[in-house]
Amino acid sequence: MTLAVVIVGAGQAGLQLASSLRENGFCGRICILGDEAHPPYQRPPLSKAFLSGTFSQELLWMQEPDYFAQNAIDFRPSTRVRYIDREARMVETVAGSIIPYDKLILAIGARNRTLQDVTDRTCRSHSIRSLDDSRSLRAALATAKRMVIVGAGFLGLEVAAVARAANIDVDIVESGPLALGRAVSSITSRALQEHHEKLGSNFHFGETVADINSESETDNIRLSSGKMLQADSILVAIGVEPNVELAASAALEVRNGIVVDHAFRTSDPDIYAIGDCATFSYGHAYQRLVRLESVQNAVDHARAVALNIIGLSEEYDQVPLFWSDQAGLRLQIAGVADPTDRAILRADLVGETASIFRFRDERLVAVESINRPGDHMQARKLLKTRAPLRPEEAEDPDFSLKALNERHLSAGHSR
């Protein structure tokens, strides 16, 4: 092929797309435009092993320095795209460079939400999205004694685990009633809360940050209830917003992300969107658009688009996967559930091991596994093949998930 492929975004999705194109014999031009100065790197360790100092920066890089030259990939760091000209099929960078494309892929991710009106009053506020963010927070934690984390989502809880391992006092402020309340079942949420409370973190649910009074050595943080907390380091981890402005300015359809079809094409068939910025129809369990934020999701999208570009497209029906490590507790999730979906506990939480099976209208849509990797692997197969697991079977610890999968596959039900 002699197509020119331009990829905007040098994260997991962008690099995976370029790699998959070359691995599948694509011989056209590939250009990756990254807005950071760094080469593509792993983001998950930024809130865990890299932040704690047990994972070196060199291990973050996703490819060797000579990878791009060896694979004829034009990688341009510190390059931000200003404008997409759909009619001329070219992009213009902030620096004024014009780059033509036959196929354009938007892998532009998301950005952290902020508490700008509050955190502008202190120099001790941090967020984590980039390598530079994690470096800055790691330096702050080296001398911190008291930390306030705003947000009890994945990122906030992961950082809390790192901080407690460093003997830093941790207060977690969450506006909702539960930790990870929008992402997992109430059973899993309570298990995570208890785990972090055993580690020594304190939760403040139903609270927001009302004000910060910065002093010479600490910040005095007033919560919405009037409660006062002190901190010499603050992390704001209240979720992300998809980067859609570039797509919207090009008149592409945007709804909580860049809307794409089953092949990840936007409303312009020569422009694709993948990863955290893409909103797509997850047909396995949903009859509506969803946007997923995970490494595996980004990788799966990229591989699917690469096959589509070279003419080997197939129906996209991957099971979304998520994971989080939090001080000896590993949470693995297969599928996507709504808060209203039924939750079936399969194992006792004694020893902090369990699997929670989520059902909608008697149909399995997701499984949350806590330190039970075997259940997670079987859950992935159950969801992929759509094996008919009933709620009462999921609840029975003696019922063999593996046997059900084997029976289903032997009957010819594979997808």
Mean pLDDT by 10 residues, the chain (415 residues): 91 97 96 96 96 94 95 97 97 97 97 85 90 96 97 97 98 97 93 96 97 87 96 95 97 95 94 96 66 92 95 80 93 92 80 86 93 93 90 88 83 60
Extract the tokens encoding 216: 């010479």
- Sheet order of strands, 228-231 included: 209-214, 219-223, 228-231
* pLDDT at 347 (0 to 100): 73
pLDDT at 407: 85
CA distance to 127, 153, 212, per residue, from 137 (Å): 8, 18, 19
Give the HSE-up count for residue 104: Cα atoms under 13 Å, Cβ half-sphere. 28
- What is the rounded CA–CA span in Å between residue 146 and residue 163? 9
| pLDDT at position 207 | 97
What pLDDT does residue 281 have? Answer: 81
Look at the chain and count its residues. Answer: 415
Residue pair 259/240 in contact by the 8 Å Cβ criterion = no
- Could you give the CA distance from residue 210 to residue 391 in angstroms, rounded to a whole number? 44
Number of H helices, E strands in the chain: 12, 26
Greatest CA span in the chain, whole angstroms? Answer: 70
pLDDT at 314: 65
| Residue 109: predicted pLDDT | 96
pLDDT on residue 116:
80
